[in-house]
């Protein structure tokens, strides 16, 4: 019972701490979405899922990749880390100079249905391993592509 109360007390604190991290200045990066068509991989023969069997297609589906070009580094920039909303690590790199980072997002249809991660957070760290800024990418159910709360396009 005491752990439950502790979680309830700390939850608002953890939310407010993550909301204090500022968005990355748009003048320091250029983000683009790369689209291609790929065939979704079929499940392994040991995988059983009636829902997947009915919805799986061998037709090429829209697959999304992101390209993040850092135009300028801020003095405190040391590392970049991209994570998905299922806490999966997508990419982690040390920053030395302005560079271009490519990372895979996934199949647009699956992200719209939220069967795969649909929110990606790009975090910038200083040498003390503190998050200094962030960029949040999200694919909504209607296909809207949102970057830091602003409409960026539609997939």
Neighbours of 48 (CB within 10 A): 9
Find out whether 104 and 120 touch, Cβ atoms under 8 Å.
no
Pair of tokens at residue 9: 């007390």
Residue with more model confidence, 29 or 46: 29
- Residue 80's closest CA among 62, 98, 54? 98
| pLDDT averaged over every residue in the chain | 84
> Which domains are delineated in the chain?
22-154 (2.60.40.10)
Residue with more model confidence, 110 or 18: 110
- The mean pLDDT of 10-38, rounded to a whole number, is 78
Query: What pTM, to 2 d.p., does this model score?
Result: 0.79
**What is the total residue count of the chain?**
155
Residues 6+ apart with CB under 8 A from 5: none
Find out whether 29 and 70 touch, Cβ atoms under 8 Å.
yes
Q: Is the pLDDT of residue 96 over 70?
A: yes
- The mean pLDDT of 90-108, rounded to a whole number, is 94
**Edge-to-edge strands of the sheet including 119-125?**
89-94, 79-84, 119-125, 131-139, 144-147, 150-154
């Amino acid at each position: 019972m005491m752990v439950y109360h502790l979680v309830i007390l700390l939850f608002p604190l953890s939310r407010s701490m993550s909301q204090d991290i500022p968005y990355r200045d748009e003048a320091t990066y250029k983000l683009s979405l790369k689209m291609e068509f790929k065939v979704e991989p079929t499940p392994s023969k040991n995988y059983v899922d009636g829902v997947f069997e009915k919805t799986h297609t061998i037709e090429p589906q829209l697959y999304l990749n992101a390209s993040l070009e850092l135009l300028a580094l801020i003095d405190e920039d040391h590392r970049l880390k991209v994570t998905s909303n299922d806490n999966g690590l997508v990419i982690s790199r040390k920053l030395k100079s302005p560079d271009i980072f490519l990372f895979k997002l996934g199949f647009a249809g699956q992200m719209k249905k939220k069967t795969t991660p649909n929110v990606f957070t790009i975090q910038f760290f200083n040498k003390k391993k503190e998050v200094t800024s962030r960029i949040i990418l999200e694919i909504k159910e209607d296909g809207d592509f949102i970057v830091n709360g602003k409409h960026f396009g539609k997939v």
